[in-house]
Structure 1
Amino acid sequence: MKKKLGFMTDHRFIIGVQIVLSIILMISIIFVKVLPMRYLIVIGSFLAVLALLVYLVAKPGPIVSRKVQKRPLAGKIISIVISIFLIIGCIFIQSGKAAYNKVTSEYDYVTYSLVVRKNSKYKKMDDLLKKTVGYNPNGTKINEALNRLSKKVSNYGVSELYGVEAIVDALYDKKVDAILINEGSRDLVTDYKKSFDKDTRVIWTTKFKSYNKIKEEKTLDVLKDPFCVYISGIDSRGSVQEVSRSDVNILMTINVPEHKVLLTSIPRDAYVTLADASQKDKLTHSGLTGTQNTVKTVENFLDVDISYYARVNFESLVEVVDALGGVDVYSDKDLSVWNGQPIKEGWNHMNGQMALAFSRERHAYTTGDRHRAQNQQAVLQAIIRKMASPAIITHYTDILKSIEGTFVTDMPMNEMARIANDQLNTNASWSFQSSMVAGNGLMMKGGYYMPDTRLYYLIPDENSVEQNKQYIKKMLKGEEFTVE
C-alpha cells in the first residue's frame, strides 16, 4: 500500500498537480474573455515561473545536512498551498461566470392570479364551477392562462372587461364572481382601489415565460458601432423579470470607440403612444405587457433603434454600489435624505443606501421628478466610471453575485466581456452627457389603462422631444455636440 501511495508524496506528482491546476485556471480565465492578452501573458508567465521555482525547491538533492533535508519538504508544502489557492481561483472564476449567465435572459415572466372578494364563499377552484370570471382579453398570455384555468374548473362563464376600472368594478359590484389579473398590474389596481388587497384574496395563480428578445439578429459590432441600451428601473414586489411598471426610464447611447455616453431620461408619466395598443398612456404602463413593448414604445417615441435592454430593481443599486466599495457622486445642494445622515453640497462618497436615497429624492427640489432623474443619471455615471476602472477585476464576482436576481439584460455575455476586455486594455476615461425629455404636467382622464380616472400625466414638449432625438442621432453618428 505504501508503494502504491508513495507516488502521491513524490515532488513530481505534487508539482504536476500544481501545473495542471495552473493550466485549468488559465483556460477558465481565457474562456471568460474579460482580460486582455497582456494580462493573460503576465498571469501565464507568473504561474509558469512559480511552478519552476517551487519545483527547484521541492526537488531532492544530496543529503548533506538537516537543512537540505527540510528544503524538499518545504517545497512540497508550498506547492500544495499554491494548488489550494489555484482551486479557489478556479471556483472564483466559475462562480462569476455562473452569475454572469444568470443576469442574461431573453424572457419576461407574467403571473396571473384568480382573485375573489374576501367575504365571498369561494375558497377553492371547484367553488367557481358554473360561475363567471372577468378578464382583460388584451393581456399578455391571457389565452394560455384561461386554458390552464379550464383544466382546474371544467365549466365556467367569462366576461371580457377592458381597463383596470372595468375589471375591478365588476368584482366589487358582483357582476362577476372572480377576476383574472396580471400581478404586474396590481399596483395599478391598488392605485384605483386603495383597499383592493385587503378586500380580496387569491385562490389560484399561474406563471408563464414570455419571450422578450428585442432583436432576433444584431449585425452591430459593439466595439466599433455606437448603439443604444434601454435601462428600466423598477421597484416591483417580485422578480426583476416579472412584467411590471417601469419607474426609471433611461436610454443609454454608447460610443465605445470614442468612449462617450449619452444618457437620455424619459419621465415615467410621459404621455406616449403604447406600441401594442396604439393608444396613449403613461410610459410606465407599457411595461405591463412586457419589456418588448416598452422598448418598441421608446423606439417609436424617440425615432431610434434600441439594440439591448437592461432591467434593474432598486435593491440591486444598493448591492452594486456596496460591492464596488462605494461611489463618488456630486450633489448640487445639501440634503438630509438617508437615516438622518446628510448629503453635503459637493462630492460625496456614497454607500449603497445613500446612493439609493439620493436617486429617489424629489421632494427637496422645486423641479421634483426632473431633478430626481438628474440624480439618477449622476449615480449611474458614478457606477459606470467605477466599473470602467481596473479595480473592477478585484470586485468581479462580488458585483455579479450582488446583482443576481435583481438585474437582467439581453446583452450576451460575450458582448459584455468584449467591452470589459477593451476597457481593461485601453484604460480609457469616459465622457458623459445627460439630457431629459421635458414637458408639462396635467391632471386628466383618457389613458389607455384607466380611461375614466383623472391621473397625472406629463405631456411631452415637442421641441424637447425633437432636440433629444437630434442628440441621440449625433451620438450614433459620432458627431460632436453639447447638450444645452
Structure 2
Amino acid sequence: MSWILEKKQKNHKKKTWRFVLISFRVLLLSIIIFFGYQLIGTYNVLESLDKSKDTILIEEQENEALKPAIWEGTERVSILLMGGDNRGLKKNQARSDSMLVVTIDPTTKKAHLMSVLRDTYVEIEGHGKGRINTALALGGPTLAMKTIGDLLGLDIQYYVYTDFEGFKSLIDVIGGIDFYVEKNMDYTDKTDGNQYDIHLRKGQQMLDGDKALQYVRFRHDAMSDFTRTERQRNLLLVVAEKLKSDWNLLRMKQILESVAPYIQTNLNIPDMLKLAKLGVESHIAGSAQVPPMELIKGTSVKGASVLSVQDNEKLREFVQELVGQDK
C-alpha cells in the first residue's frame, strides 16, 4: 500500500509543479504582451507627435541659418517648453505666454530649469528689437529657440509647445498633484464664458488639471510675472517627479495619448527615447528666473512696458553658474 501512496504523492507533486509552471508561463506571456502593447503604442504616439495638429496655431518657418545644432547625445541638451493661450487666435498668431528652458548635462545627469520673463526686450534676428515672447509669432519655434538661446548663451536644440488644454490634460492623466497653494487666488476672466476664472484657496491640496492651470496662470499680485514664473517652476518640478514614478512610467502610452493632440515639437523618435532615458536618470539640480532681478530694468518702448537687460554678458555668466549648481 505504501508504494501506491508514494505514487499518488509523486503524481500530485507533478501536477502541482505542472500547474505552477503553466501559471508562470501565462504570467510571463501576459507581462510580455502588456509591455509589448505599451511599447508599440508609445512608439505610435511618439510618431504622431511630429505631425501637424489642427489645434496648434504655430507653423515652422524654414530658415537654415537659424536651425539649431544637432544633438549628438553626449553634450548638453536644452529644450524650450512653451505654453500658449490660443483663445481667439488665427493660425500663426500664437505667442509664447510661458517659456521655460530645461537644460541637461548627460555626463553629470544634472538638470536645470529656467523660466524666461516674457516681457524681456531683446534683439530678434531679422525683426529688430521686441518682447522675447513675440519671436514665436514672428518666425516660428526655430526663431524662438534662437532668440532665447542667444540671450542665455545656450544651444537650444528642441522645443515643445502646448496650450491650456494640453497642460490640463497632462495633469489629469497623471492623477493630479498634491501641492501647497501659498495664498488665496481670485481672478475673473470673461473670455470664453468665464471658463478660465481663477479661484483657489490657500493650503495643501490635490490640484487637478483645471486648478493647476489656474495656479500657473495667476499673476494678479504685486510682483505679477515674477511670482508667476516662480510658481510655474515649482509646480513643474513636482510634475516632473511624479512622471518619473514607476506607475506613470508604466502608463506612458496612456499619458502620451492624452497630451498628443495638444503638442507640437521638433523632437524625432530616437531623440525622444534618448531624452526620456536621460530624464529618468537625471535629477533637478537647480532652477531660476532669467534674467534675474538684478540684471533687468523696467522701461517703456512706444508706450509699452518692457524689461531691458542691463548686461548681456553678466546674464550669460549667471546662466553658466546656474547650470554648474547641484542643490
TM tier, smaller: 0.7 to 0.9
- AA matched with 2:287: Q
Q: Does 1:360 align with 2:217?
A: yes
Where does residue 136 of structure 2 map in the other structure? 287
Task: State whether residues 240 and 311 of structure 1, in contact with CA within 8 Å, keep that contact through their aligned partners in structure 2.
Answer: no
CA contact (8 A) 2:286 2:325 kept: no
1:258 shift after superposition: 3.1
State the match for 1:350 in structure 2.
207
Deviation, 1:293, is: 1.5
Q: Match of 2:257, as an amino acid?
A: K
Q: Is the 8 A contact 1:282 1:457 kept in 2?
A: no
- 2:316 corresponds in structure 1 to 469
- Structure 2 partner of 1:415: 271
1:257 to 1:243, Cα distance in 2 relative to 1, 3 A:
farther
CA distance in 1, matches of 2:90, 2:319: 27
Larger Rg: 1
Does structure 1 residue 261 correspond to structure 2 residue 108? Answer: no
Aligned residue in 2 for 1:275:
125
Amino acid at match of 1:292: T
**Local SS of the residue matching 2:95:** coil
1:436 is aligned, of 268, 290, 293, to 290
**Deviation, structure 1 residue 210:** 4.1
Cα shift readout 1:439-475 (whole Å, capped 9, x = no counterpart): 3444441xxxxxxxx4x33222415x54442232235
Q: Given the alignment, which residue of 360, 369, 385 partners 2:241? A: 385
**Counterpart residue number, 1:218:** 70
Q: Is the CA contact (8 Å cut-off) linking 1:229 and 1:252 kept in structure 2? A: yes
1:100 corresponds to which letter in structure 2? Answer: L
Counterpart CA distance in 1 for 2:142 and 2:80 is 11
Distance 1:405 1:108 in 2: 7
Pairing 1:39-188 to 2, within 5 Å after superposition: 90-104=36-50
Query: How far apart are residue 250 of structure 1 and its match?
Result: 1.8
1:77 Cα deviation after fit: 11
Match of 2:156 among 306, 320, 329: 306
Structure 1 letter corresponding to 2:252: Y
Mapped pair 1:370 → 2:316: no
Report the Cα offset of residue 383 of structure 1: 1.6
1:104–1:410 Cα contact (<8 Å) kept: yes
Q: Secondary structure at the match of 2:179?
A: strand
| Structure 1 Cα separation of the partners of residues 28 and 91 of structure 2 | 41
Any conservation in 2 of the 1:287–1:293 contact (CA below 8 Å)? yes
Q: Give the secondary structure class of the aligned counterpart of 1:273.
A: strand
Deviation at 1:209, TM superposition (A): 6.8
2:223 partner SS: coil
- Aligned AA (1:421): K
Q: CA RMSD in A?
A: 4.1
Once the two structures are TM-superposed, the CA of residue 413 in structure 1 deviates from its matched residue by 2.3
The Cα shift of 1:243 comes to 5.6
Which letter maps to 1:370?
F
Instruction: Name the residue aligned to 2:3.
Output: none
Deviation at 1:298, TM superposition (A): 1.6
Aligned residue identity for 2:143: N
| SS class of match (2:102) | strand
- Whether the aligned pair in 2 keeps the contact of 1:323 and 1:395 (CA below 8 Å) is no
CA distance in 1, matches of 2:252, 2:275: 14
Counterpart Cα distance in 2 of 1:396 and 1:292: 28
CA distance change for structure 1 residues 273 and 421 in 2, over 3 Å: closer, same or farther?
Answer: closer
The verdict on how the C-alpha distance between 1:443 and 1:86 changes in structure 2, with shifts beyond 3 A counting, is same
- In structure 2, stretches of 5+ residues that fail to align are 1-10, 188-195
Secondary structure of the corresponding residue to residue 236 of structure 1: coil
Q: Distance in 2 between matches of 1:89 and 1:400?
A: 15
Q: Counterpart of 2:261 in 1: which secondary structure?
A: coil
Deviations 1:12-43 (A, max 9, x none): xxxxxxxxxxxxxxxxxxxxxxxxxxxxxxxx
Do the aligned residues in 1 keep the contact of 2:79 with 2:160 (CA within 8 Å)?
Answer: yes
Q: 1:395 to 1:481 in 2, by over 3 A?
A: closer
Residues 45-89 of structure 1, C-alpha deviations (whole Å, 9 max, x = no match): xxxxxxxxxxxxxxxxxxxx9xx99x999x999988987886565
Greater relative contact order structure (CA < 8 Å, 6+ sep): 2
Distance in 2, Cα, partners of 1:295 & 1:96: 27
Instruction: Give the Cα–Cα distance (whole angstroms) in 2 for the partners of residues 435 and 471 of structure 1.
Output: 11
- How far is the alpha carbon of 1:257 from its aligned partner? 3.6
Residue from 374, 377, 399 that aligns with 2:255: 399
Paired residue type of 1:388: K
Q: Which amino acid aligns with 2:254?
A: D
Q: Output the amino acid matched with 1:357.
A: Q
**1:203 corresponding residue in structure 2:** none
